[in-house]
Amino acid sequence: NKYFRGRVRENEMCTNSFHGGVGACERDYGGPLACQNADCWVLEGVIIPMRRCGHPGQPNIFIRVSVY
C-alpha cells in the first residue's frame, strides 16, 4: 500500500471512506468497522491507534477480528 509502504500486518486491514475527508483519530480507538452482509451487520474490525492520525484521502487501519 502506498501510504504505509507495506507495513500493514496480516491481522490488520486498511479502509477508506467513500465520502472523503473522514479519518479515525485520537478518541476513535476501539471503534467498530461493521459491514452489512445481506440483512445483518458483521463486525469486521476494530480501530487501532494510528501510526499517523487519519487524514483526508488516507486509509484507516483496523485490527481484522476474523483472525482471532
Delimit the domains of the chain by residue range. Answer: 12-63
Mean pLDDT over residues 43-64, rounded? 78
Burial class (CB in 10 A: 0-12, 13-18, 19+), 43: exposed
pLDDT at 49: 73
Q: What percent of the chain has pLDDT over 90?
A: 22
**pLDDT per residue as tens digits for the range 21-41:** 566 777 788 889 899 988 999
Name the residue with cell 471503534: 31
pTM above 0.75, yes or no: no
Report the percentage of the chain scoring pLDDT > 70. 71
Reduce the DSSP state of residue 48 to 3 states and report it.
Answer: coil
Q: Is the pLDDT of residue 1 over 60?
A: no
CATH of 12-63, one of 1.20.1250.20, 2.40.30.110, 2.60.40.10, 2.40.10.10: 2.40.10.10
